Structure 1
Amino acid sequence: MPGWPVSGRLAGGGSLLKAFSQALLAWFDREARDLPWRVPAGHGTGLRRDPYAVLVSEFMLQQTQVVTVIPYYQAFMARFPHLEALAAAEETQVLKFWEGLGYYRRARQLHSLARVLVEDFEGSLPRDHKTLLTLPGIGPYSAGALLAFAYDLPQTAVDGNVVRVFSRLDAQPYVQGDVKAQRAVRERLADLIPRKRPGDFAEALIELGATLCVRTSPDCTACPVSRFCQALAQDRVTDFPLKAKAKPKPVSQLTYLLIHEEGKVYCRLRTAGLLTGLYEFFPLVGKWGEGQEARIREALAQTGSLAGREGDLFYVGERRSVFSHRIWDMAFWELALAPGEGLIVQEGQDWEAFDLDLLARLPLPVFLAAWREDFLARIMDKK
């Protein structure tokens, strides 16, 4: 954009950095979103925000939009209002309150972290960056965010939003999501953090990337630091950052059976691999959709779990779930067993029959949870 009054590349110290910080912080004071985890700590605590609130929100916000997180955060904090409550809970309880949010490994790591903090750190979050990096679920971003947001310490908190902001400010071809890009921006930021209000500065950069300097259609006219933006001066804002090359994801074909008998539903707890700690219905390798009832019965017979049992099969539908590194393509069926002796449990399997009240409280993957709710609603309609 010819004639744009760009002040030059930001560097540590001097009037340029001061002007940048002042403009960014003044905008943040006016425009920061009112989010439930942004509650200031009480006077005299020496804290900027409640460390536990920051901890829970940061774990939930990983790879998840703010608007999605808010109701989950509020329900989670109502059930586990402090670190000790979370540490004392059973994992299945924690996963139940995470149900539908996805990326369940975050919930397990948060739960493990709570127990470590209570057992080894007297229920407090360490103020040391190196110590934080040794704890469950804490990486460079999380460590920086916790120290900056909770303790107002001069730490960098570089997520995808901040990489995008600095890719445009410096007109640097960083690759979105690339570890090297995050490291470069952390190094870049180290000399830019102001002595006053470092926590607000860190949070304001993320806010800027999340609300104005967005991936598509950035609102440069409302940006408080647009005069420092090299990409805007070159009329190339949307050229930065570079998109990462998409890698093909392997696709798994599965069929799930909701097997029920006399008011009970068979489920098992996944103890390894994807979705560890969640319950599931009966899985079959291979996808058999509507009209393939014979294939379902053949596959069931091969498992040996329903030898000699009779039941009615009902086709429910199909679902495709996209995970971070793979895709599950699934068909859903229900099998209503005639009264009998239930499943023949094979060695190494842990199938349990749950009554409907308990079924409603089990933590399930989101694609099975929605099915469960529909199944329970249909059962209630029949009563």
Structure 2
Amino acid sequence: MSRTARPAVEVVGVVAALKRHLTPGPVPTEPFRMILWENIGYLVDDPRRRELFDGFEAAIGLDPAAIAAASDNELLPLAKRGGMRPETRVERWRTIARIVRTQAAGDLDAALRALPLAKARALLKTFPVIADPGADKILLFAGIAPRPALESNAVRALARLGFFQEQASYDRSYKAAIAVLVEGGRPDGAWLIEAHQLLRELGKTTCKRGEPICAACPVDGLCAHAAVKAL
């Protein structure tokens, strides 16, 4: 890969090319549901996550009070469907419900919209498994703050496409990837959500962590390695 980063403005063209070939599945956009979605299973793919989420909704309901009132006998069988450490998952569900009830008066969406952005991000990061990338995603998808957000598969894909050099820590790589969208992307929320989902799908399907499947990649001709091979 070339050590010279490609111009950030080219990211718009990459996203447009991905849109012609990839169709990411639907995901929740309401903050409480998004947090529960992230905590519904352990290392499960998107179709399985949807199945677990829908099963939880049917059995318990997507309401903090209902989760708080549910017994271990109701929650544990659902948690076991989501992989290892089901007891930890039950505890996380209870923690999510407790935070929404005690710190957001039962309505997380309304609470986030009423807070300054920095405090809204801080509140989101008190939830299980929600760090900076997760908080950014929730604020973007819920329409609270139209700022870039990316998931780890998307960060890896942008680095391999040549937009930045991977850094020693994931936090620094994430910030470098976000800077690409800030400098070269579009500022509207709809485009940023599209970029998040399409770049994530690219990283999950072809630009995989181990061995990328370049022959099947819809933007292989735009990738940094293609430019290197042409020299």
1:18-97 mapped onto 2 (5 Å cutoff): 18-24=12-18, 26-27=19-20, 31-34=22-25, 38=27, 49-60=29-40, 63-84=43-64, 85-91=66-72, 93-97=74-78
Equivalent residue letter for 2:63: L
1:163 aligns with 2:147: no
SS in 1 for 2:209: coil
Question: What does the per-residue CA deviation read over 1:310-354, in whole Å, with 9 as the maximum and x for residues that have no partner?
Answer: xxxxxxxxxxxxxxxxxxxxxxxxxxxxxxxxxxxxxxxxxxxxx
Distance verdict in 2 for CA 1:139–1:62, change over 3 Å: farther
Structure 1: distance between partners of 2:170 and 2:129: 19
State the percentage of identical aligned residues.
Answer: 24
Deviation, 1:204, is: 1.8
What is the RMSD computed on CA atoms of the aligned residues?
A: 3.2
Equivalent residue, structure 1, for 2:117: none
Equivalent residue, structure 2, for 1:214: 208
Give the strand-richer structure, 1 or 2.
Answer: 1
Structure 1: distance between partners of 2:7 and 2:71: 49
Structure 2: distance between partners of 1:118 and 1:90: 17
Equivalent residue, structure 1, for 2:84: 102
Structure 1: distance between partners of 2:91 and 2:135: 18
TM-score scaled by length of structure 1: 0.47
Structure 1: distance between partners of 2:90 and 2:136: 20
The structure, 1 or 2, with the larger RCO (C-alpha pairs under 8 Å, 6+ apart) is 2
* Ranges in structure 2 where 5+ consecutive residues have no aligned partner: 114-119
Give the helix-richer structure, 1 or 2.
Answer: 2
Question: What does the per-residue CA deviation read over 1:160-213, in whole Å, with 9 as the maximum and x for residues that have no partner?
Answer: 3123202201273456x8444334434444434422312222122211211222
Equivalent residue letter for 2:67: L
Equivalent residue letter for 2:158: F
Structure 1: distance between partners of 2:90 and 2:183: 34
Equivalent residue letter for 2:165: Q
Equivalent residue, structure 1, for 2:101: 118
SS in 2 for 1:60: coil
Does the 8 Å CA contact 1:95/1:107 hold for their aligned counterparts?
yes
Deviation, 1:81, is: 2.3
SS in 2 for 1:147: helix
Deviation, 1:146, is: 1.5
TM-score scaled by length of structure 2: 0.72
Question: What does the per-residue CA deviation read over 1:282-317, in whole Å, with 9 as the maximum and x for residues that have no partner?
Answer: xxxxxxxxxxxxxxxxxxxxxxxxxxxxxxxxxxxx
Does the 8 Å CA contact 1:98/1:107 hold for their aligned counterparts?
yes
Structure 1: distance between partners of 2:217 and 2:98: 42
Distance verdict in 2 for CA 1:17–1:67, change over 3 Å: closer
Distance verdict in 2 for CA 1:67–1:216, change over 3 Å: farther
Equivalent residue, structure 1, for 2:224: 230
Deviation, 1:58, is: 1.9
Equivalent residue letter for 1:82: L
Equivalent residue letter for 2:84: G
Deviation, 1:221, is: 4.7
Larger radius of gyration: 1
